[in-house]
């Protein structure tokens, strides 16, 4: 089945810093989704981005489908950005998740 | 705020108990999913319902029994669980399951502890 790899696995940032999270996938996909799981377990769908670039406030995402990767940019990070960021793609099940990047933003 | 509501938020049960998890959505979505998430792991698919019919069962043990009584409700009935079944159980919905390319919306989950 399709493999999804995320990097880095862990990231610690000072409040106000910028960061880039990466998601590599092993096969062609028709969509890719980025999620943020907050410390209380809620999974929020950040982006549905099969290709191209999208922006939502301080967050933006870029997917280069031909090269099988996606990037999530977080600018001017805030403590509320802490949590785990997952990317997910369709495989032999509706969504196959990467292992996530655990982000801690320190004030 | 999520439009997918899960109850209860927390559940503690013994191995001989029978309990149910509930998921409700009012987004008009016709695909509903149960995921299981162990600590520090990604969510793993358990079941998919499409138009109130079970379409995917990821070889889940029979002690987990899903039910979709109508297009807005999804239940997960639990019986004779094991301590290793302790996890966060997440419900998700999508507009339609047919293409595998729908955007998923998750509820806030039920944190289950089996003693």
Q: Is B83 helix (H, G, I), strand (E, B) or coil?
A: helix
Tokens of B2: 């999520």
Nearest CB among B45, B88, B94 relative to A93 is that of B45
Distance CA A65, CA A49 (A): 10
Contact list in B for residue A86 (CB cut-off 8 A) is 42-43
Question: Given CB atoms, is B79 within the 8 Å cutoff of chain A?
Answer: no
pLDDT, mean of residues A5-24: 98
From the CA of A73, how many Å to the nearest CA of chain B?
Answer: 20
Q: Is B99 helix (H, G, I), strand (E, B) or coil?
A: coil
Residue A87 contacts residue A32 (beta carbons within 8 Å)? yes
Tell if the CB–CB gap between A30 and B100 is shorter than 8 Å.
yes
Question: Given CB atoms, is B66 within the 8 Å cutoff of chain A?
Answer: no
Q: What is the pLDDT of residues B69-103, one digit of tens each?
A: 999 999 999 999 999 999 999 999 999 866 578 89
Distance of CA B8 to the CA centre of its chain: 12
Which residue out of A32, A41, A48, A97 would a mutagenesis test of the B interface target, given it has the greatest number of B Cβ atoms within 10 Å?
A: A41
Beta-bridged to residue A53, according to DSSP, are A62
Q: What is the pLDDT of residues B12-40, one digit of tens each?
A: 999 999 999 999 999 999 999 999 999 99
Q: pLDDT band for position B2 (50/70/90)?
A: low
Determine the pLDDT at residue A92. Answer: 78
Residue with tokens 């910028």: A18
Tell if the CB–CB gap between A94 and B56 is shorter than 8 Å.
yes
Residue B1 has pLDDT above 50, yes or no: no
Question: Given CB atoms, is B42 within the 8 Å cutoff of chain A?
Answer: yes
Q: What is the pLDDT of residues A40-93, one digit of tens each?
A: 899 999 999 999 999 999 999 999 999 999 999 999 999 999 999 999 998 877
Determine the pLDDT at residue A94. Answer: 82
């Amino acid at each position: 089945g399709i493999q999804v790899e995320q990097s880095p696995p862990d990231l610690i940032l000072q409040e106000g810093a910028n960061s880039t999270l990466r998601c590599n996938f092993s096969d062609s996909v028709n969509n890719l989704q980025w999620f943020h799981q907050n410390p209380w377990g809620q999974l929020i769908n950040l982006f549905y981005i099969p290709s191209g670039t999208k922006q939502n406030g301080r967050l933006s995402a870029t997917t280069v489908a031909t090269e099988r990767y996606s990037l999530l940019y977080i600018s001017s990070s805030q403590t509320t950005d802490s949590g785990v960021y997952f990317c997910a793609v369709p495989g032999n099940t509706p969504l196959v998740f990467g292992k996530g990047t655990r982000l801690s933003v320190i004030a | 705020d999520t439009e997918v509501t899960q109850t209860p938020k927390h559940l503690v049960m013994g191995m001989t108990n029978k309990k149910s998890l509930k998921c409700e959505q009012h987004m008009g979505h016709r695909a509903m999913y149960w995921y299981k998430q162990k600590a520090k792991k990604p969510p793993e698919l358990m079941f998919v319902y499409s138009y109130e019919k079970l379409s995917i069962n990821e070889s889940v043990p029979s002690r987990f029994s899903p039910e979709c009584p109508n297009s807005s409700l999804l239940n997960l009935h639990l019986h004779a669980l094991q301590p290793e079944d302790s996890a966060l159980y997440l419900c998700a919905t999508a507009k339609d399951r047919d293409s595998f390319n729908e955007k998923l919306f998750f509820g806030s989950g039920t944190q289950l502890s089996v003693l």
